């Protein structure tokens, strides 16, 4: 497997796979039973989109936008939230499902949380992708 393939499967494939998983779960007209309490559903959305935000910033940090960390954080949070919004719009058309604006708010908060946690962990563990000034993009892109 060449470097580009390893790069794709390491950084981008998990993101794409997770997006497909979210879409397929929201396409199910008989979803897994979630307790009717407000908080259980919102916690599921929060943590699902926190993980999506983490995967998005991880993948997008390999692009040119990594040079502007504020823009990277904003765009990662925004894209994750927009995916949550599109998921709610999709659920509106699925029989026995409904769209909920409160779910989008939970998606937004979860996305921001996941992006922020990834950023903090990248600083703590010296991930070169997100530390300004380091030039090596990723472990598959170094010139040996």
pLDDT 10s digits, 77-106:
999 999 999 999 998 888 888 888 999 999
Question: At residue 107, does pLDDT exceed 60?
Answer: yes
Question: At residue 136, does pLDDT exceed 50?
Answer: no
Cα distances from 85 to residues 2, 12, 99, 121, 125, in angstroms, run 36, 21, 9, 27, 32
Mean residue pLDDT across the chain? 83
Q: What is the mean pLDDT of residues 12-34?
A: 84
Proportion of the chain above pLDDT 90, given as a percent: 49
Residue 33's pLDDT band (cuts 50, 70, 90): low
Report residue 108 CA to chain centroid gap. 11
Question: Helices 13-27 and 38-60 meet at what angle, rounded to 10?
Answer: 150
Q: What was the pLDDT predicted at 125? A: 80
């Amino acid at each position: 497997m060449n470097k580009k393939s390893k790069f794709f499967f390491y950084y981008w494939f998990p993101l794409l796979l997770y997006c497909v998983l979210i879409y397929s779960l929201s396409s199910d007209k008989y979803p897994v039973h979630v307790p009717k309490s407000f908080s259980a559903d919102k916690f599921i959305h929060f943590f699902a989109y926190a993980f999506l935000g983490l995967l998005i910033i991880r993948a997008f940090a390999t692009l040119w936008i990594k040079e502007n960390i504020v823009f990277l954080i904003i765009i990662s949070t925004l894209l994750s939230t927009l995916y949550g919004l599109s998921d709610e719009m999709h659920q509106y058309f699925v029989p026995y499902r409904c769209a909920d604006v409160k779910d989008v708010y939970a998606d937004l908060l979860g996305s921001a949380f996941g992006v922020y946690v990834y950023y903090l962990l990248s600083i703590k563990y010296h991930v070169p992708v997100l530390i300004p000034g380091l030039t090596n993009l990723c472990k598959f892109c170094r010139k040996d």
